[in-house]
Amino acid sequence: LREWCKKELAGYKVPRLIEFRDELPKTNVGKVLRRQLRDEETGKPG
Amino acid 11: pLDDT? 95
Residue 31 CA to residue 15 CA, distance in Å, equals 21
Is the pLDDT assigned to residue 46 strictly greater than 80?
Answer: no
Question: What's the pLDDT tens digit per position in 2-45?
Answer: 999 999 999 999 999 898 999 999 999 999 999 999 898 888 76
Amino acid 41: pLDDT? 81
Contact at 8 Å (CB) between 46 and 40? yes
CA dihedral 34, 36, 37, 43 (to 10 degrees): 150
Amino acid 30: pLDDT? 96
Give residue limits of the domains in the chain: 22-46
